[in-house]
C-alpha cells in the first residue's frame, strides 16, 4: 500500500493490482494512480535565492570539494528519482516526480546548488514491473534517491539497502519498504501507528449515523489488510460496522453493492470503490440512496472526483487530508512557492498532490545535505533529516513533530484537516476539523495503534 500518507493506501494497492493484471483503473497519474486536485502554476516567478518559504536557506554556492562517495564529485551530486511513468497500462503514472525534481534542481542550482555542487537528476522509470532493475541502475551511479516512488516496490528494497542507496522518499507501498533501512519518509509513516482523527471528527458531528457504518474494498489480501486497519481505528472511535463489502478488483455494475448498503441501513458510508467513484455515486443516485454522510480517503481529492460527481446531489461528503489543500494555497508559504517554482522552471505544468509529496522530500534533502557541507555522505544527510522537528516543508504537509529513520519506529503526523465535496467543488470543512494549529486538528489522540491480520 502506498505510504506517502497513510490513508491513500487502499486505493493505491487496488490501482497497482488493476494495472498489474492489465485492467486500467480510471484514476489520474498522481500518486500511483490516485486522483489529485490540480491548479495552474502561480503567476509569480520564483526567486532564485535558495530560500524556501517557511524553511529557510537550503541551497547556496560553496566550495564543493573532492569526494570518494558514489554520485558525488567536486561540482555535482547525482540523484535518482523513481517513477512508473512509461508503463503501458496507465502512461504517465507518477510523471510528476521527475517533473518536479527537474524544476527544483534548476531552482536550487540557480542559487549555487548544495554547497556549490549542482544537482543532477537521473530518472529511473520502472514501468511498474522493473523495480529491481532500475534500482540496480541507480546503485551504479547515484548518491541517493529523492522525491520518487515505485508502485511495486518490494523487489527494490534489498537491492537499495544492499548497495547503500539512501532515500528520502515521496511514498512507499509495501510493508517492507515502509520500514526499510537507510530511509527517511517526510510523513513519518509507520506500519502499525496510523492517523485516524477524521473518524472522530465525523463521529462528533454524526453520533447516531456512525452506529450504522458501511465500508469495505476489493477482495484482495493486500487491500483487505489495510482496510481492516482502518476498521480498527473507526471502531475504536465508536463506529459499528453493519455492512462490509468485498467487491472484485474490477466492478462493472455497482447497483448490487449500493442495494446491499441501503438494505442494511448504512448511514455512515465509506465507499468500497477505491478509485473511480463516479459510477458508484451514479448508482447511489439511481437507487435513491442517500446516507447521512460519506467519508472518502485523500486519494479521491481531485478534479476527476469533482467532475464525476458535479451533477449528483451528494449527501454530506468529506475527505480527510494531511497535504495542504489547493483551495487554501494562499495561506501556505511553501505551497505558494512550489507553484512559483513550477511556473518558472516547468511552465504549463499542472501542480497536484504528487508535487506536494515530491517537494516535501526535496526540500528536506536540500536542507539536510546543505547542513553536511563539503563532507557529504548518506549517513550525514539521513541523520540531519531524521533530526528534523515539526517538519511541514513550509506548510505543504501536516507537520510531523519528530522525523526518524524508517526502521526506527517513526511517529506520523497527528494532524489532519477535512474537505467537503458538493456541486463539483471542494471547500474547507472548518467546523468539522476544529483546527487548533493553522488549518490542522493536531492531537496525539488522532493516532492509533493497529495490528496486521498476520500478527
Give the CATH number of the domain where residue 438 resides. Answer: 3.40.50.2300
- pLDDT at 3 exceeding the cut of 60: no
Specify whether 216 is located in the same domain as 78: no
Q: Is residue 1 part of a domain?
A: no
* Shared domain check, 200 and 178: no
Q: Roughly what angle, to the nearest 10 degrees, separates helices 255-263 and 278-287?
A: 50
User: Of 155, 188, 192, 194, which is closest to residue 171 (Cα–Cα)?
Assistant: 188
- The pLDDT, as a whole number, for residue 350 is 84
Q: Are residues 273 and 289 in the same domain?
A: yes
Q: Residues 102, 142: one domain?
A: yes
When computed from its CA atoms, the radius of gyration of the chain, rounded to whole angstroms, is 21
Query: Which pLDDT score, from 0 to 100, does residue 18 have?
Result: 58
- Give the model confidence (pLDDT) of 80-92 as tens digits: 999 999 998 888 9
- Phi, then psi, of 120 in degrees rounded to 5: -115, 120
* DSSP three-state, residue 170: coil
Rounded Cα distance, 287 and 265, in Å: 14
Average pLDDT for 128-147: 97
The better pLDDT of the pair 306, 29 is held by 306
β-pairing, 166-168 vs 193-195, is unpaired
Domain count, the chain: 2
Please, are residues 170 and 407 in contact by the beta-carbon 8 Å criterion?
no
Mean pLDDT along residues 388-411 = 98
Determine, yes or no, domain membership for 62: yes
Confidence band of 218 (pLDDT split at 50, 70, 90): confident
359 falls within a domain: yes
Name the H helices within 86-213.
96-109, 131-141, 156-163, 175-178, 197-205
Residue 294 is inside which H or E element, if any? strand 293-296
pLDDT category, 266, cuts 50, 70, 90? very high
Q: What is the structure's pLDDT at 227?
A: 86
pLDDT tier at 434 (50, 70, 90 boundaries)?
very high
Q: Is residue 17 part of a domain?
A: yes
Give pLDDT tens digits for 180-198.
999 999 999 999 999 999 9
Specify whether 44 is located in the same domain as 126: yes
User: Given the C-alpha cell 548518506, which residue does it identify?
Assistant: 378
Predicted confidence (pLDDT) at residue 351 exceeds the cutoff of 60: yes
185 and 258 housed in the same domain = no
| Tens digits of residue pLDDT in 194-211 | 999 999 999 999 999 999
Determine the structural domain holding residue 233 and report its residue range: 193-325+414-449
Mean pLDDT of 39-45: 54
126 & 173 share domain: yes
Task: Give a yes or no: residue 289 inside a domain.
Answer: yes
Question: Does residue 275 carry a pLDDT above 80?
Answer: no
Residue 313 lies inside a defined structural domain of this protein: yes
**Same domain (yes/no): 21, 93:** yes
pLDDT digits 0-9 by tens, 332-341: 999 999 999 9
Looking at the structure, do residues 197 and 185 belong to the same domain, yes or no? Answer: no
Is there a contact between 275 and 19 (Cβ–Cβ < 8 Å)? no
- In the chain, what percentage of residues exceed pLDDT 70? 89
Whether residue 408 lies inside any domain: the answer is no
Residue 252 neighbours by CB under 8 Å, 6+ apart:
none
Average pLDDT score, the chain = 90
One domain, residues 24 and 158: yes
Beta strands 183-184; 166-168: pairing state: parallel
Task: State mean pLDDT over 54-66.
Answer: 95
Pair 166, 58 in one domain = yes
pLDDT at 13: 56
Q: What are the backbone dihedrals phi and psi of residue 51, each rounded to the nearest 5 degrees, phi first?
A: -100, 125
Classify residue 37: in a domain, yes or no: yes
Strands (E) in 110-232, as ranges, are 118-125, 144-146, 166-168, 183-184, 193-195, 213-216
CA dist 390 and 179 (Å) reads: 21
Q: Range with the lowest mean pLDDT among 6-10, 121-125, 238-242?
A: 6-10
Query: Is residue 249 located within the same domain as residue 157?
Result: no
Amino acid at each position: 500500500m502506498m505510504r506517502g500518507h497513510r490513508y491513500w493506501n487502499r486505493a493505491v494497492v487496488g490501482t497497482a493490482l488493476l494495472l498489474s493484471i492489465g485492467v486500467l483503473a480510471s484514476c489520474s497519474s498522481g500518486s500511483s494512480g490516485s486522483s489529485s486536485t490540480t491548479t495552474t502554476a502561480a503567476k509569480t516567478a520564483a526567486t532564485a535565492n535558495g530560500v524556501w518559504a517557511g524553511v529557510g536557506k537550503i541551497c547556496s554556492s560553496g566550495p564543493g570539494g573532492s569526494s570518494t562517495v558514489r554520485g558525488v564529485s567536486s561540482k555535482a551530486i547525482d540523484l535518482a528519482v523513481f517513477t512508473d511513468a512509461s508503463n503501458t497500462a496507465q502512461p504517465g503514472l507518477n510523471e510528476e516526480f521527475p517533473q518536479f525534481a527537474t524544476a527544483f534542481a534548476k531552482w536550487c542550482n540557480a542559487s549555487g546548488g548544495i554547497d556549490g555542487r549542482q544537482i543532477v537528476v537521473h530518472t529511473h522509470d520502472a514501468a511498474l514491473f522493473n523495480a529491481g532493475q532500475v534500482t540496480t541502475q541507480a546503485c551504479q551511479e547515484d548518491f541517493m534517491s529523492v522525491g520518487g516512488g515505485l508502485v511495486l516496490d518490494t523487489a527494490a528494497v534489498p537491492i537499495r539497502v544492499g548497495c547503500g542507496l539512501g532515500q528520502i522518499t515521496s511514498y512507499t507501498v509495501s510493508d517492507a519498504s515502509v520500514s526499510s533501512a537507510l530511509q527517511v519518509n517526510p510523513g513519518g509513516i509507520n506500519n502499525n501507528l496510523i492517523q485516524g482523527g477524521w473518524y472522530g471528527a465525523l463521529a462528533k458531528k454524526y453520533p447516531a449515523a456512525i452506529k450504522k457504518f458501511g465500508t469495505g474494498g476489493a477482495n484482495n489480501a493486500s487491500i483487505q489488510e489495510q482496510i481492516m486497519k482502518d476498521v480498527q481505528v473507526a471502531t475504536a472511535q465508536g463506529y459499528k460496522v453493519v455492512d462490509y463489502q468485498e467487491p472484485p478488483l474490477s466492478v462493472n455494475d455497482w447497483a448490487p453493492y449500493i442495494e446491499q448498503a441501503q438494505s442494511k441501513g448504512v448511514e455512515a458510508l465509506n465507499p468500497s470503490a477505491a478509485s473511480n467513484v463516479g459510477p458508484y455515486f451514479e448508482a447511489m443516485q439511481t437507487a435513491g440512496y442517500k446516507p447521512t454522510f460519506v467519508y472518502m480517503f485523500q486519494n479521491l481529492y481531485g478534479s476527476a472526483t469533482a467532475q464525476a460527481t458535479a451533477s449528483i446531489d451528494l449527501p454530506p461528503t468529506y475527505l480527510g487530508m494531511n497535504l495542504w489543500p489547493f483551495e487554501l494555497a494562499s495561506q501556505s508559504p511553501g505551497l505558494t512557492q512550489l507553484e512559483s517554482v513550477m511556473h518558472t522552471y516547468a511552465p504549463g505544468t499542472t501542480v497536484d498532490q504528487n508535487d506536494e509529496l515530491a517537494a516535501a522530500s526535496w526540500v528536506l534533502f536540500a536542507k539536510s545535505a546543505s547542513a553536511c557541507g563539503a563532507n557529504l555522505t548518506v549517513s550525514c544527510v539521513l541523520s540531519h533529516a531524521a533530526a528534523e522537528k515539526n517538519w511541514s516543508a513550509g506548510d505543504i504537509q501536516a507537520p510531523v513533530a519528530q522525523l526518524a529513520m524508517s526502521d526506527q519506529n517513526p511517529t506520523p503526523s497527528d494532524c489532519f484537516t477535512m474537505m467537503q465535496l458538493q456541486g463539483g467543488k471542494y471547500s474547507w470543512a472548518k467546523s468539522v476539523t476544529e483546527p487548533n494549529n493553522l488549518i490542522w486538528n493536531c492531537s496525539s489522540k488522532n493516532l492509533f495503534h493497529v495490528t496486521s491480520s498476520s500478527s
